[in-house]
Amino acid sequence: MTVPVQSLLFADPREAADLAAFLGRLLHYDRAAAVRLQAGGGDALAVFGRPPSFEVLAVRTARLARPETLDVTVSAGELLESLDVSGEGPVGRRCGALPAPVTGPPWTGVLPPRGPWREQAGLPRPEALRAALDAAVAEFRTRDEALPEELRTRAERDRIGREIWSRPVGATELPLRAVHAAQSLGFLRADPAFPVSLFASGAWLRLRTPFGSVALRRDPAGGLGGPGGLNLSVGRG
């Protein structure tokens, strides 16, 4: 584990603010969340997290003011507390002292591969993705309300949820839960000017937007397995 820097200087105050928003969303789903930080000698910092409700890896990048080399897992809550998002001069661009490293959960050692990533066809447009999410939520509520009292259990509701959210999106292998994760984490915006793309590398799929990415394995038996790390030169997500 290499931790050559004690603090991070962001290229712009908005970078710290956007990262803070991402960390806040992760903590909404897991108050004890950890994140893995990677910088490969350039000015891009990748922050990996895993919101447990969606079974995907979430990736948010931030531009740094100078090249850094960093690979460490820290508490998401402590990192959020250290961020200065005031935007007042240089201090407003600086992350305070990096939190102490933590022993990461298993997923931190099984990041997606560095590539090559190949764009996949068949992904619906962003407005169609949001419509599919709205329809899925409505279907779940309808089916949940229709359950007889003896079947109104957590196990049955989970079964219905798994059935709905595991459905493929459009003409792709991407499960709907990945799109749900992207929307819940703030990656899927209403502005149609922002593109949404699907990429594949080996067993991995990656839904990429200008605001972040979600990645998961196509092989359910493999879980979130596989070594490596995303190529930080491929956009912000």
In a domain, 237, yes or no: no
Give me the residues paired with residue 206 across strands.
Answer: 199, 215
**CATH code for position 95:** 3.10.150
Final residue in a domain of this structure, among 109, 135, 162: 109
In a domain, 1, yes or no: no
In a domain, 207, yes or no: yes
Do residues 66 and 145 both lie within one domain? no
In a domain, 31, yes or no: yes
pLDDT at 193 (0 to 100)? 76
Do residues 216 and 122 both lie within one domain? yes
pLDDT at 181 (0 to 100)? 96
Do residues 35 and 99 both lie within one domain? yes
Do residues 44 and 128 both lie within one domain? no
At 78, list the tokens: 């402590």
In a domain, 97, yes or no: yes
Do residues 18 and 85 both lie within one domain? yes
Final residue in a domain of this structure, among 78, 109, 140: 109
Residue-number span of the structural domain to which 17 is assigned:
8-109
Do residues 104 and 125 both lie within one domain? no
Report the domain count for the chain: 2
pLDDT at 8 (0 to 100)? 84
- Average the pLDDT over 156-185 and give the result: 95
Do residues 15 and 103 both lie within one domain? yes
Do residues 132 and 105 both lie within one domain? no
List of residues 6+ apart from 59 with CB closer than 8 A: 46, 47, 48, 212, 213, 214, 215, 230, 237
Do residues 158 and 99 both lie within one domain? no
Final residue in a domain of this structure, among 86, 109, 132: 109
In a domain, 71, yes or no: yes
- pLDDT tens track for 15-52: 988 999 999 999 999 999 999 999 998 999 999 999 98
In a domain, 67, yes or no: yes
Residue 175 CA to residue 101 CA, distance in Å, equals 33
Q: Sheet containing 204-209: which strands, arranged edge to edge?
A: 69-75, 34-40, 44-49, 57-63, 212-217, 204-209, 197-201, 118-119
Do residues 83 and 148 both lie within one domain? no
CA proximity to 227, closest of 203, 208, 211: 203
- Segment among 53-62, 83-92, 190-199 with least mean pLDDT: 83-92
Do residues 163 and 217 both lie within one domain? yes
- pLDDT tens track for 46-76: 999 999 888 899 999 999 988 999 999 999 9
In a domain, 228, yes or no: no
At 173, list the tokens: 């292998």
Do residues 216 and 126 both lie within one domain? yes
